[in-house]
Amino acid sequence: MKVLGIETSCDDTAAAVAENTTGVLASVVGVQKVHEAYGGVVPELASREHLHKIHSVYAECMERAGLRPEDLDGIAVTCGPGLIGSLLVGLSFAKGLSYSTGLPFVGVNHVEAHLFSFLPGDLPCPYPFVGLVASGGHTEMVHVRGFEDYKVMGSTIDDAAGEAFDKVGVLLGLTYPAGAALDDLANYGDPEAVSLPGVKLKNAGPYDLSFSGLKTAVRRRIESREGRMTRRDRADVAASFRRRVVEDLVEKLFAATRDAGVRRVLLAGGVSRNTLLREAARREGERAGVDVVIPEAFYCSDNAAMVACLGSIKLRRGARSSFALDAFATMGDLA
């Protein structure tokens, strides 16, 4: 089964074609540069950029795959959670293509799709497992007991991990999106140089997380230096911040894994590209005897291959969406 995936939940315009769950014939991501000047995603600009890019990204994807619309068996599209304006562009495009070609289409949950991030020759990740979906908009720990059998064990109560990386990166003078640049800068710093506060949460679950306090601590550190920070100072702050975030993520992830009684974890979402997080998770996995599964870096960030792969499973199981399907902004129920 060849399924076209469409992903426009935030600021990446993406299209991909997956053949069943064992191969991606083509995957194209159109990155929006317009947000760099604002230090964050501007929703109205994001939706307008999707309108400009969606057709050309789709056309390039089909050309790379060597396919025509009649060669497809179905369409999968992200319908939430995400920015409503952005989601509606992708959803409307998928509906129009479905109507004009007669192809069935199915809407998928963006977070669920991350749990099906493309793993060459091994999709889906063998059940059961605990998945950490950490990105610019989401930080959730999900106990995946089987297909569409999920329990969200913990999440962030404020900033998502990727959002925190981006915001701290901007505070350090890096260009948005700054998460990857902060990761690079941190490699030149001392992770023990700056003392950052631990997070104690009240009225929260045992696996919930918070990153806004760390962000505030970094801002105060920078302000206290009154513009006198050297590159080494900035690298030390980046390294110390990265260490604290990774420690929190890994500690909560493996605690959730122990309590769920599973021996496998999956890292997904853009933050799972972070080099220290990948290293720390693998190291803790070896210590605890837990299998750690991490997709290739390209498939960690938002992409349409994961949407197509999940959609192919749903379509083979008989799932179909109607043209009345609407977009949704917040997480809601995962299944």
CATH number at residue 72: 3.30.420.40
The pLDDT value given to residue 182: 96
**Cβ atoms within 10 Å, residue 17:** 26
**Which strand (E) or helix (H) includes residue 141?**
strand 139-146
Tell whether 327 is covered by a domain: no
Tell whether 67 is covered by a domain: yes
Are residues 190 and 80 located together in one domain of the fold?
Answer: no
Lowest mean pLDDT: which of 3-7, 225-229, 318-322, 324-328?
Answer: 225-229
Are residues 175 and 265 located together in one domain of the fold?
Answer: yes
Give the number of residues written for the chain. Answer: 335
Tell whether 51 is covered by a domain: yes
Which residues are CB-contacts of 228 (< 8 A; sequence separation ≥ 6)? none
Are residues 77 and 47 located together in one domain of the fold?
Answer: yes
| Cβ–Cβ < 8 Å for 210, 157 | yes
For residue 238, what are the domain limits? Answer: 129-295
Q: What tens digit of pLDDT does each residue of 179-209 get?
A: 999 999 999 999 999 998 777 777 789 999 9
Tell whether 204 is covered by a domain: yes
Which residues are CB-contacts of 229 (< 8 A; sequence separation ≥ 6)? 222, 237
Are residues 151 and 275 located together in one domain of the fold?
Answer: yes
C-alpha separations of 178 from 118, 182, 270, 329 in Å: 24, 6, 12, 24
DSSP 3-state assignment of 210? coil
**Cβ atoms within 10 Å, residue 328:** 15
DSSP 3-state assignment of 233? helix
Cis amide bond preceding 295, omega within 30: no
Are residues 72 and 217 located together in one domain of the fold?
Answer: no
Query: Does position 335 have pLDDT exceeding 60, yes or no?
Result: no
C-alpha separations of 4 from 61, 63, 87, 216, 229 in Å: 9, 13, 16, 42, 48
Query: Does position 122 have pLDDT exceeding 70, yes or no?
Result: no
Tell whether 256 is covered by a domain: yes
**Total of domains in the chain:** 2
Name the range with the highest mean pLDDT among 79-88, 115-124, 175-184. Answer: 79-88
Are residues 164 and 247 located together in one domain of the fold?
Answer: yes
Tell whether 48 is covered by a domain: yes
The pLDDT value given to residue 23: 83
Are residues 181 and 276 located together in one domain of the fold?
Answer: yes
**Residue 307, CA atoms < 13 Å, CB-side half-sphere:** 35
C-alpha 329/C-alpha 109 separation (Å) is 11
**Which strand (E) or helix (H) includes residue 191?**
none
* Tokens 């990857």, located at residue: 180
C-alpha 207/C-alpha 105 separation (Å) is 35
Q: What tens digit of pLDDT does each residue of 37-63 get?
A: 888 899 999 999 999 999 999 999 999
Lowest mean pLDDT: which of 17-21, 118-122, 189-193, 326-330?
Answer: 118-122
**Residue 143, CA atoms < 13 Å, CB-side half-sphere:** 17
| Cβ–Cβ < 8 Å for 131, 103 | no
Query: Does position 130 have pLDDT exceeding 70, yes or no?
Result: yes
Are residues 311 and 216 located together in one domain of the fold?
Answer: no
**Which strand (E) or helix (H) includes residue 106?**
strand 105-109
Question: What is the rounded radius of gyration, in angstroms, for the C-alpha atoms of the chain?
Answer: 20
Are residues 105 and 144 located together in one domain of the fold?
Answer: no
Query: Does position 121 have pLDDT exceeding 90, yes or no?
Result: no
pTM: 0.92
The pLDDT value given to residue 219: 94
Tell whether 326 is covered by a domain: no
Are residues 291 and 170 located together in one domain of the fold?
Answer: yes
C-alpha 280/C-alpha 176 separation (Å) is 25
| Cβ–Cβ < 8 Å for 23, 111 | no
C-alpha 75/C-alpha 95 separation (Å) is 9
Are residues 172 and 277 located together in one domain of the fold?
Answer: yes
Tell whether 124 is covered by a domain: no
Q: Which two tokens stand for residue 252?
A: 């909560």
Are residues 111 and 19 located together in one domain of the fold?
Answer: yes
